[in-house]
Structure 1
Amino acid sequence: MKNKTIDYILRATWQTVSRMYNEEAAKYGATMATGFALLSIDKEKGTPSTALGPKMGMEATSLTRTLKSMEEKGLIIKKKNPNDGRGVLIYLTDYGKEKRALSKSTVIQFNDSIKKHISDEKWDNFIEVAETINKLIQDKEIFNQSENKENEIARITKDKK
């Protein structure tokens, strides 16, 4: 993977991880999105539905489908938000809490397995690189530099000659 672009490596790795989690979740009649939602909902206080999408990085339509499926399976219940009558709080049922524990143990098993195969230094480097990528993107330091983009286009054009 040495000559691959950063985005290719991230996407290919995420697709592999996603496929692995979905295969594991399917054994329990669930999906990775369901497991992630279970882990994103506060198990004691519930979570506002409007906070879940941004927390999970999911679009509203996908989240709505996931929550509907979870409600039908008895994993969650929805209640009006007492502090905001227009809002809805999502709570885990006892069954949802059981499945949340299963999701958590699956994630921990994945993390532990990966950490057995890489050094602490490499793990720390991985975290640092991921945090740097996120910060550069959040701070809009990638595409908002038109001068850098023009220089890069000139370099690519020159390299092709």
Structure 2
Amino acid sequence: MAVTQQLARIPEGYLAACRQSAGASSDGDPQWDPPAYDVLDLDWAPALLKRIGEVAGLEEIHLEALRRAIDGDNALDLGFLDTHPHAIAPFGPPPTGLGISQVAHVSELLGQISMPVLLAALPADERDAGSLIGQVGAITGGLREYLLEHFNALRDFYLDAAKRHLLVVLWWD
């Protein structure tokens, strides 16, 4: 089983209901089950996306937004989602998240990043490009296509979350 990064966009009320469920349950079950259309699997792209931003010289404000989009922060109390036997991130670090205003800010900054420009900063040779950003092994369809697809998915995910005034919860599973 591969461990990949997951993101869920959820209303504040859903998070509150999960917290209440965990508190009321004898085994701490938060009843965490966001709808599939509000979950994004970023696969193993997060480290590569951050690294291409660094290598390509992305401005610090945009690089920090990319990092926050991928790493979240600890502003939300998500400890109840990391409790055995119902932990949502049993194979990775504890879940993190971004509040509504953070999601809006990150979304705005992600929208200003041009992934084609970042990709153009990589060496033309696929192996050299992969080596530079820490890619291990071959990627079906090619590195550039993989990064573009996952960045676009991340950007669009945050854009929708911002439009709908949702939180984003991140974890590795």
Shared fold (TM-score greater than 0.5)? no
Normalization by structure 2: what TM-score?
Answer: 0.31
Higher helix share: 1
Q: Kindly indicate whether structure 1 or structure 2 has the higher relative contact order, using CA contacts under 8 Å at least 6 residues apart.
A: 2
